[in-house]
Structure 1
Amino acid sequence: MGDMQEVRSAADRLAPVLRPVRAGNGFEEALEQILQVLRLGLVPYGERLPAERELAERLGVSRVTLREVLRVLQDEGLVESRRGRYGGTFVLQRPGGETRGGGAEDELRRRIEKVDLEDTLRFREVLEVGAAGLCAAHGLPEEQADRLRAALDATHEAPLSDYRRLDTLLHLTLADLSGSPSLAAQYAAVRATVNDLLNCIPLLVRNLEHSQQQHTALVGAVLEGDADAAREVMREHCAGTAALLRGFLT
């Protein structure tokens, strides 16, 4: 009984931070929120996070998704999983305030000082959502449709080491096909800034798989001429990237 009360009490203390995530970006937003809990020191090092069931309920995600989030945090040296009656997920101390891979976090923070993160993310979303809507609304000639399909196929076949480059090319292709050279030029500039930040955080396989599902849905909506669906998928896609960056920066 005492253990259950302790778990419930811990979860209640985190209630201001933990909230149900949106369905479209469950993994990314759950990761963002738990990273925020850790960065804020709401669970001191050496103490347990709330039980998986409680965390999953608070976040509105499946326990499978939650375990994938916890696995990422363990790989980053932020938490440790222990078995047994007194087991659970424990917060690890960060030597000197840093985690394994802390040099990358330092670099990310140095870069972030030079940009307005929220402005960059919002501008990126406006450009991306606009490009997707324009391509779908105006329709693409077959040659341009083939270009978009080829860019999508390249991301599906990309090795992990080359994924980000080919992901960038897919998004640049969509911006280029929007029919607005000004939009394409502005997008290229903001994407370069976003990539500088993304290159400082780990590539997460679950996130890449989710991104690929969104890419496929996005290209499908564009080719079907469904502008509303294309805009909505792109908005959700941008929100996932934003959640990851905010999570690692909080």
Structure 2
Amino acid sequence: MTDAPLAEVRRAVYRPVREGNALEDTTARLVQTVRLGVVPPGESLPSERDLAAMYAVSRDTVREAIRELADAGYLVRRRGRYGGTFVADPLPQPENPRQVTAEELEDVLGMRRVLEAGAARAAAARTLDAAARDELWARYEAVAAATESDYRRLDTQLHLAIAEAAGIPSLVALAAENRARVNEWLNTFPLLRRNIEHSNAQHERIVTAILAGRPDAAVAVILEHLAGSEALLRGFLS
């Protein structure tokens, strides 16, 4: 199922948090879950008991983190037989986006280039089994057919699927953290139809190069692809 969260991405966002800043790290990890589309808008998070076990924190810590994000409009708590904690639909859009310094922007985008180009090279250099090949192509097709409301979530899933195809679990965790920061910025400006068409054409070339076992070609296309989104980010955020 192409809309299901990627296994390594789930492990990355639901891994134990640091002991010293349990509340802050739990809140940040839940925000990653939302920004990466691991749980889509309108869908429910795991139970408080399960989250506490996965993050290795108390249920009180999870409950407080959920309360903070519910107050901020990211989560909705429902009681009753079909109750639980749900991702808000639609998600809130910041009225006054945080100012991003040039140094912060270049740091995050530079790390993105290193992580995603490295992932594409490693994925293309591997011998992927039939299931992994089908999964990667299905993720591309899902983005190509996405509606505007689902586009960025499914685009994120494709990029993280490439990281997962690299076969390096710790790389997925780094890519997920980096992508969550990028998505925070992307969500402050609208989708551009022609940019979507161009991106989808590049997505096809990236996935085709990976499946053909052409690491240099995969790296070249993904760097070209990232340069386009970097230009938009600099234009809108500078």
Q: Where on the TM-score scale, by shorter chain, does this alignment land: which range?
A: 0.5 to 0.7
Match of 1:149 among 111, 125, 137: 137
Question: 1: CA distance between counterparts of 2:217 and 2:176?
Answer: 23
Alignment of 1:99-138 (within 5 A): 107-108=96-97, 110=98, 112=100, 116-138=104-126
Identity of aligned residues (%): 50
SS of structure 2 residue aligned to 1:246:
helix
Q: Which residue in 1 is equivalent to 2:156? A: 168
Question: What is the aligned-residue RMSD (CA, Å)?
Answer: 1.8
Q: Which residue in 2 is equivalent to 1:96? A: none
Question: 2: CA distance between counterparts of 1:106 and 1:135?
Answer: 39
Count of residue pairs the alignment pairs up: 146
SS of structure 2 residue aligned to 1:107:
coil
Match of 2:210 among 207, 222, 242: 222
Alignment of 1:23-172 (within 5 A): 107-108=96-97, 110=98, 112=100, 116-172=104-160
Q: Which sections of structure 1, spanning at least 5 residues, go unmatched? A: 1-103
Question: 2: CA distance between counterparts of 1:217 and 1:230?
Answer: 8
Question: 1: CA distance between counterparts of 2:157 and 2:99?
Answer: 23
Deviation, structure 1 residue 111: 5.0
Deviation, structure 1 residue 169: 0.4
Match of 1:187 among 175, 186, 195: 175
Q: Which residue in 2 is equivalent to 1:76? A: none
Q: TM-score, normalised by structure 2?
A: 0.59
For 2:111, the aligned partner's letter is F
**More helix per residue: 1 or 2?**
1
Q: Which sections of structure 2, spanning at least 5 residues, go unmatched? A: 1-92
For 1:221, the aligned partner's letter is A
Deviation, structure 1 residue 141: 1.1
